Amino acid sequence: MVRPPCCGDDDEKVKKGPWTAEEDAKLVDYITNKGHTNWKSLPKLAGLNRCGKSCRLRWTNYLRPDIKRGKFSEEEERLIINLHSVLGNKWSRIATHLSGRTDNEIKNYYNTHIRKKLLQMGIDPQTHKPRTDHSQIAQIINLTQLIGAAQQLNSIMMLNNNNGIIGNSNNNNNNSVANSIIPLLHLLNPTTTSAASTFLAQQQQQQQMTSSQEELLLARLLNPAGAGSSAHQELFCNQFLNTLPALATGGGSSLMVNNNNNNGALATARESALPGLVSAEASPEASSSTSLVHHNNNVNGGVDGVMEAGNNNNNYPHLSNNSSNFSDGTTALSSPGTAADVDDNQYEAWEKMLLMDDDFVPTFGDSGFFSSWKDDDLVLE
């Protein structure tokens, strides 16, 4: 069925193009007094030679009184990136989370500013995965720039509150971390990271969950409180490490997440992979800002606290029952991950999120905002 355009070639030609101040005034005046129940009839009633659609657009994107003008804040930018990673190009849905910003404005901002930033970081702005073409990354040529990139990367992966999850919203939690980190690691040491890249490629080809991924999914479903915690962020990184022998085995430090002051720094360090990086951050543990951090108090890929703090939960041994403090200041999961602990609503929200249900809308609240990675390859039946 082919429909004629709403403002088609009627007898009277409607005006197009930029709005004049006089037209704006007429539209504002009319809507202020009469409202806008019917956009089609509005132009005629308001004395405007425009189509209803044009009026609606002008009002919603420009004239509405509650529109926020000016530059986007860093927080808004972070939020947009996070929401986009979950929702994709659903600009109107993204806009519902940024009061005063229109979908059009967000779309424009993303396509002009954020897209550029992500590309410079070697991240595909559409999929939020690393680009296979590393030519852009190669432009980041020194350590200082790398650290800056890692910090930006961290901003994307986590909101700077004490919630949020690193990783994909579905079956590739580990890969998301890997996806984001490997280009940076590769830049410094292509040899070391080649195995990781190979692993990643293999994982990306696999459509089905591995048993460990399945276990992770269960853990997230069964322990929403823990899953939003900083400790849980470490858990996911730890799981990632355990499946990345090239990076995680042997003594020394390992890839992990540092959660000082709940800012959650994404650390991508292994001495052999990042020579010299350790000394680049004089006192990472004391830092309140996000930073590239080196940890060296674990072997075999173990991450502070999570694996060592106690594994009393037989069903989910990687969840700690202890309320231990980690050596880096984070706190272990404080309650066992049992189904009985889960509130129905929370469970449903988590399920929707993990299954990428269309009804899922990231929300703010007691449980915080859950940052996750978009992935179209979900196979969870």
Partner DNA sequence: AACAAGCGCAACCGCCTCATA
Partner DNA sequence: GTATGAGGCGGTTGCGCTTGT
For the chain, counts of helices (H) and of strands (E): 16, 2
Rounded-to-5 percentages of helix, strand, coil across the chain: 45, 5, 50
Q: What distance in Å separates the CA atoms of residue 259 and residue 328, rounded to the nearest whole number? A: 8
What are the tokens at 313?
């939960």
Shortest Cβ distance from residue 95 to DNA (Å)?
8
Stretch that binds DNA, among 90-98, 167-175, 216-224, 328-336 (CB under 7 A): 90-98
The smaller minimum CB distance to DNA, of residues 105 and 234, is found at 105
What values do phi and psi take at 346, rounded to 5?
-65, -45
List, in sequence order, every beta strand (DSSP E) within the chain: 256-258, 265-267
Shortest Cβ distance from residue 105 to DNA (Å)?
5
Residue 5 interacts with DNA (CB under 7 A): yes or no: yes
- Map residues 39-78 to x or -, x wherever contact with DNA holds by CB under 7 A: xx-----------xxx-xxx--xx----------------
* Interface residue with DNA, options 32, 49, 73, 92 (CB under 7 A): 92
Residue with tokens 């399945």: 214
- Residues with Cβ within 8 Å of 178's Cβ and at least 6 positions away in sequence, in order, are 196, 199, 200, 203, 240, 244
Shortest Cβ distance from residue 156 to DNA (Å)?
19
Handedness of CA 344, 349, 353, 355 (dihedral sign): positive
Residue 134 interacts with DNA (CB under 7 A): yes or no: no
Residue 89 interacts with DNA (CB under 7 A): yes or no: yes
Q: How many residues bind DNA (CB under 7 A)?
A: 37
Strand pairing category for 265-267 and 256-258: antiparallel
Shortest Cβ distance from residue 77 to DNA (Å)?
12
Stretch that binds DNA, among 84-92, 130-138, 195-203, 238-246 (CB under 7 A): 84-92
Residue 111 interacts with DNA (CB under 7 A): yes or no: yes
Contact 182, 131 (CB under 8 A): no
- Map residues 13-42 to x or -, x wherever contact with DNA holds by CB under 7 A: --xxxxx-----------------xxxx--
The smaller minimum CB distance to DNA, of residues 101 and 220, is found at 101
Contact 51, 58 (CB under 8 A): no
- The contact set with DNA (CB under 7 A) reads 1, 3, 5-7, 15-19, 37-40, 52-54, 56-58, 61-62, 89-93, 103-105, 107-109, 111-113, 116
